[in-house]
Amino acid sequence: MSLLSVDQARERILSHFEPVETETLPLTNCIHRVLAADIIAADDLPLFDNSSMDGFALRAADTSNAAPASPVTLRVVADIPAGYTPKVFLAPGEAARIMTGAQMPAGADAVIPVEDTDFNTRAPGTPAPATVTLEKPINAGDNVRSRGMDVRAGHSVLEKGNLLKPQDIGLLAMLGFAEVEVYRRPRVALLSSGDELLEAGAPLESGKIRDSNSYMLAALIESAGAQVLRLGIARDTRPSVQGLIEQAASLDADLILSSAGVSVGAFDYVKDVVESNGSLNFWRVNMRPGKPLAFGEYKNIPFIGLPGNPVSAFVGFEVFVRDAIGRLGGISDGGRPNVRVRCEEEIRSDGRESYLRAVLHEKEGLYFARLTGHQGSGNLLSLVQADALLIIPAGVKCVPAGQELNAWLL
Ligand code: AMP
Ligand code: MG
Q: How confident is the model at residue 41, as a pLDDT?
A: 98
- What is the C-alpha separation between 121 and 113, in angstroms, rounded? 11
Nearest atom in ligand 1 to the alpha carbon of residue 260 is 2
Distance 225 CA to ligand 2 centre (A): 28
Radius of gyration of the chain (CA): 31
Helices (H), 18-135: none
**313 SS3 class:** helix
Distance 259 CA to ligand 2 centre (A): 9
Q: How confident is the model at residue 130, as a pLDDT?
A: 97
174: phi then psi, degrees, rounded to nearest 5? -55, -30
Given a cut of 70, is residue 312 above it in pLDDT? yes
Determine whether 239 is exposed, middle or buried from the number of CB atoms within 10 Å of its CB (0-12, 13-18, 19+): exposed
Nearest atom in ligand 1 to the alpha carbon of residue 233 is 19
Looking at all shown ligands, the one closest to residue 212's CA atom is: 1
Cβ(196) to ligand 1 under 6 A? yes
Distance 308 CA to ligand 2 centre (A): 7
Given a cut of 90, is residue 80 above it in pLDDT? yes
Strand partners, 112: 56
Q: How confident is the model at residue 373 (pLDDT cuts 50, 70, 90)?
A: confident
Q: How confident is the model at residue 334, as a pLDDT?
A: 66
Given a cut of 70, is residue 97 above it in pLDDT? yes
Residue nearest to atom 16 of ligand 1 (CA): 308
The answer to whether residues 18 and 330 touch, using CB atoms and an 8 Å cutoff, is: no
Looking at all shown ligands, the one closest to residue 264's CA atom is: 1
Nearest atom in ligand 1 to the alpha carbon of residue 262 is 2
Looking at all shown ligands, the one closest to residue 263's CA atom is: 1
Helix (H) or strand (E) holding 234: strand 227-234
Tens digits of per-residue pLDDT, 253-285?
999 999 997 766 556 788 889 999 999 998 999
3-state DSSP: the chain helix, strand, coil percent, rounded to 5? 20, 35, 45
The answer to whether residues 307 and 260 touch, using CB atoms and an 8 Å cutoff, is: yes
Tens digits of per-residue pLDDT, 162-219?
999 999 999 999 999 999 999 999 999 999 999 999 999 999 999 999 999 999 999 9
Helix (H) or strand (E) holding 358: strand 353-363
- What is the C-alpha separation between 53 and 351, in angstroms, rounded? 63
Tens digits of per-residue pLDDT, 208-218?
999 999 999 99
Determine whether 44 is exposed, middle or buried from the number of CB atoms within 10 Å of its CB (0-12, 13-18, 19+): middle
Given a cut of 70, is residue 56 above it in pLDDT? yes
Cβ(263) to ligand 1 under 6 A? yes
Nearest atom in ligand 1 to the alpha carbon of residue 307 is 2
Average pLDDT over residues 218-229: 98
Q: How confident is the model at residue 295 (pLDDT cuts 50, 70, 90)?
A: very high
Q: How confident is the model at residue 369, as a pLDDT?
A: 97
Residue nearest to atom 15 of ligand 1 (CA): 308
Residue nearest to atom 6 of ligand 1 (CA): 308
All structural domains of the chain: 6-19+185-328 (3.40.980.10), 22-45+152-183 (3.90.105.10), 50-145 (2.170.190.11), 338-409 (2.40.340.10)
Weakest-pLDDT range from 25-34, 97-106, 289-298, 330-339? 330-339
Q: Which of left, alpha, beta for 265 (phi over 0: left; psi -120 to 50: alpha)?
A: left
- Could you tell me how many helices (H) and strands (E) the chain has, helices first? 8, 28
The answer to whether residues 330 and 36 touch, using CB atoms and an 8 Å cutoff, is: yes
Looking at all shown ligands, the one closest to residue 308's CA atom is: 1
Q: How confident is the model at residue 1, as a pLDDT?
A: 59
Tens digits of per-residue pLDDT, 27-47?
999 999 999 999 999 999 999
Distance 266 CA to ligand 2 centre (A): 7
Cβ(261) to ligand 1 under 6 A? yes
Tens digits of per-residue pLDDT, 120-157?
888 888 999 999 999 999 999 999 999 999 999 999 99
**321 SS3 class:** helix
- What is the C-alpha separation between 87 and 19, in angstroms, rounded? 52
Cβ(305) to ligand 1 under 6 A? no
The amino acid that residue 6 corresponds to is V
Distance 287 CA to ligand 2 centre (A): 20
Instruction: Indicate the pairing of strand 292-298 with strand 301-306.
Output: antiparallel
